[in-house]
Amino acid sequence: MGDQSSASYIHMVHHLIEECIVFNMSKEECMEALSKHANIKPVITSTVWKELEKENKEFFEEYAMRRKEKSGASSTEDGDKQKWAPQQAFSSSSSSSSSSSTLHQIRSSQPRISSTRS
């Protein structure tokens, strides 16, 4: 892989991790989902996740606390819990405009994870 394609690949993994976070997934759940649905090796997902944690320590601390709070509440709300459709999030084909619009709305309500890499 050349430098540009490596950077592009890492950027894609970064984007997919953000999608996992939108769906309130743990690091382990994200690693499993990306491995299964996007054919990304867990070690790659783990490495990118760890770098994002270093660059966004406060965000990930708050995210962990929100996940912990939600996991306590989710046992009573499992019937109402929105299910994730990984095949849609990781589709290699371009998404429909309604999906893109919904994703944009979801993202605008979530804090953006910063990255010092371009």
- Rounded CA-CA distance 18/112 in Å is 8
pLDDT of amino acid 109:
47
Task: Give this prediction's pTM.
Answer: 0.63
| pLDDT tens track, the chain, 118 positions | 577 799 999 999 999 999 999 999 999 999 999 999 999 999 999 999 999 999 999 999 999 999 998 887 765 454 444 444 444 455 443 333 333 333 344 444 455 566 655 4
Contacts of 107 (CB under 8 A, 6+ apart): 18, 22
User: Where along the chain do its domains lie?
Assistant: 3-78+86-109
